[in-house]
Amino acid sequence: MAITSTPRTATVDDAALIGRTLARAFDDDPMMRWFFPDDSSREKSLGRYFTTLLTRQYAHHGVCERTDSAAAFWVPPQAQAVPDAGTVRELQDILGDRAPLFRDAVEAAAEHTPREPHWYLAVIGADPAAQGGGHGAALLRSGLARADAASLPVCLESSKSANLPFYEHFGFTVREKFPLPGGGPLLWAMRREPLSGADVRDRLP
């Protein structure tokens, strides 16, 4: 069966597939390695982590899309971007003794979140085996088109410096850089202003 990079809506029924995909995508991510330092259990723990985020949080408060080898979770304006109490408890169980670091990281990132209406890209990742196949770019374009249609900016945070050029290619700029508390990795907060009309035709890759 051919692998397609065409975005389609992701639901809780896709949780197992998406959990595996994002676990592989984020295996080398500095923040995920900080949350899950044990190499032997990281992939399993990350699978549970992303499955929980989808089924408990973003499937209900966001827009979730996937391809055959990638997934993205978006939060529209006025929706709930911070995990609710039940989700946090489940994530804390997955994180074990690293749970306080997660709690502090969520709080720190929230302090740097813009207050004006915007779309927020919470998670995007592609299976390394499929990287270069356009899966992440297709999902990013899909979400950016929604934001552009509403004339709203898009914000995200990245903890992997190697990913910054990818986002910059799509019009994002770094608005600030800050370390996570407790000796955690750096986060780069990025923002993209909306495009419209001829700007979309001329500039969107």
Q: In what order do the strands lie in the sheet with 119-126?
A: 8-9, 63-66, 70-75, 119-126, 154-158, 186-192, 173-179
Across the range 124-146, mean pLDDT stands at 95
User: Does the pLDDT at position 15 exceed 70?
Assistant: yes
pLDDT of residue 163: 96
pLDDT band at residue 201, thresholds of 50, 70 and 90? very low
If one counts every other C-beta atom within 10 angstroms of the C-beta of residue 6, the result is 12
Q: Map out the domains of the chain as residue ranges.
A: 8-203
Q: Where are the alpha helices (DSSP H) in the chain?
A: 15-25, 30-35, 42-52, 59-61, 85-95, 99-111, 135-149, 164-169, 198-203
User: Does the pLDDT at position 124 exceed 60?
Assistant: yes
* pTM of this prediction exceeds 0.85: yes
Across the range 145-158, mean pLDDT stands at 96
Across the range 81-104, mean pLDDT stands at 87
What b/e readout covers 140-161, taking b as 16+ CB neighbours within 10 angstroms? bebbbeebbeeebbbbbbbbbe
CATH number for 8-203: choose from 3.40.630.30, 3.20.20.450, 3.40.50.300, 3.40.1180.10. Answer: 3.40.630.30
pLDDT band at residue 138, thresholds of 50, 70 and 90? very high
Averaged pLDDT of the chain: 91
User: Does the pLDDT at position 2 exceed 60?
Assistant: no
Could you give the CA distance from residue 141 to residue 78 in angstroms, rounded to a whole number? 21
